[in-house]
A and B are shown apart, each in its own frame.
Chain A
Amino acid sequence: DTAVSQTPKYLVTQMGNDKSIKCEQNLGHDTMYWYKQDSKKFLKIMFSYNNKELIINETVPNRFSPKSPDKAHLNLHINSLELGDSAVYFCASSQTGGPQHFGDGTRLSIL
């Protein structure tokens, strides 16, 4: 029943490792997003895909690489993790121009 689901919910790893976060939506939306929420709860857009095409790419280190195999999935791969990458990462989806629906987040902690 979950509309936007992302895995894993918690991710604890060491500096320098490579990790991936997966996201799937079953709402039939054509646009998906990745957001980063820092410790002060500020939500910032990272990437957006519309029909599998990248349409928003904010100033994000190129260690972050999104991939959208189809309209219902958007994954985020992070290389060479750094301490500053610790945050909660949210996936969201929407129909073009419509309000965004969020997943429950992936809590990434870098040791």
Chain B
Amino acid sequence: GQQLNQSPQSMFIQEGEDVSMNCTSSSIFNTWLWYKQDPGEGPVLLIALYKAGELTSNGRLTAQFGITRKDSFLNISASIPSDVGIYFCAGWGSNYKLTFGKGTLLTVNP
């Protein structure tokens, strides 16, 4: 089956720093999604990417759909305390199932 490797597993940064996390796949995806999950809540969609090479921003967040269609990254600029949470990448493949990465736990030190 399709697998996603998400890294890093966790990050501990100072407020104001930039953050980068990425996902790689063993197979091609047609869509990449990035979600954030706060404690006690469900994942919330941050950015959706539909074309290879696509670069999309949402405020301080920027994500790219890799040219090979097997990877994606998410950058957060000038982090703030409310950026704390678990970030998940997810990919739609040919099996029409959304496969999730194992998440990146982000901690921001004020």
* Chain A interface residues toward B at CB < 8 A: 4, 40-45, 48, 55-56, 90, 92, 97, 99-105
**Cross-chain pair count, CB within 8 angstroms:** 43
* Chain B interface residues toward A at CB < 8 A: 31, 33, 35, 37, 40-45, 48, 86, 88, 92, 96-98, 100, 102-103
What are some 9 contacts across the A-B interface (CB < 8 A)?
A: A41-B102, A41-B103, A42-B103, A43-B43, A100-B45, A100-B98, A102-B43, A103-B42, A104-B41
Interface hub of B43, B96, B102 (most chain A Cβ within 10 A): B43
- Chain A residues near B100 (CB, 8 Å)? 42-44
A104-B42 CB under 8 A given contacts A41-B103, A99-B33: yes
Docked CA distance A101–B48 (Å): 12
Q: Is the CB of A90 within 8 A of B102?
A: no
Q: Is the CB of B98 within 8 A of A40?
A: no
